[in-house]
């Protein structure tokens, strides 16, 4: 059974994509208005970032967690621990959107 995200959507990235008459929810990184920062992130970090936006609840995932990923510096010593909530195959749509939207970054 898939985990139903209950995001606070602090960054207002929640979006809907309709495929074959069925709505699918995803969190669009393009709505973060942080293109320069997103260009610096490896694809794995972008997937993690979408996951953080999806599960932001101000308990297990906070606004600071999202900011920590956006401000990631490969040369810096890690200073912020985050929690990953794995997605299920039913939720792979977010990864598909991510690859299509940011394949140039």
Rounded to two decimals, the pTM is 0.74
Find, among 45, 43, 54, the residue nearest to 13 by Cα: 54
Taking only the tens place, the pLDDT of each residue in 2-25 is 555 578 999 999 999 898 999 988
96 part of a folded domain? yes
45 in a structural domain:
yes
Residue span of the structural domain in which 79 resides: 32-102
In a domain, 14, yes or no: no
Give percent helix, percent strand, percent coil of the chain, each to the nearest 5: 40, 10, 50
Kindly state whether residue 20 falls inside one of the protein's structural domains.
Answer: no
Would 70 be classed as within a structural domain?
Answer: yes
Spans in the chain with pLDDT lower than 50: 1, 91, 96-105
Distances (CA, A) of 93 to 72, 73, 81, 105: 25, 28, 26, 19
């Amino acid at each position: 059974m898939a985990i139903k995200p209950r995001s606070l959507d602090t960054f207002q990235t929640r979006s809907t994509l309709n495929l074959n008459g069925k709505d699918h929810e995803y969190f669009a990184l393009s709505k973060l208005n942080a293109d320069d920062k997103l260009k610096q992130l490896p694809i794995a970090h972008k997937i993690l970032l979408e996951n953080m936006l999806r599960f932001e609840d101000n308990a297990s995932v906070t606004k600071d967690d999202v900011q920590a990923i956006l401000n990631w510096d490969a040369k810096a010593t890690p200073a912020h621990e985050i929690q990953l909530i794995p997605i299920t195959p039913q939720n792979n749509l977010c990864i598909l959107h991510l690859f299509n939207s940011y394949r140039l970054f």
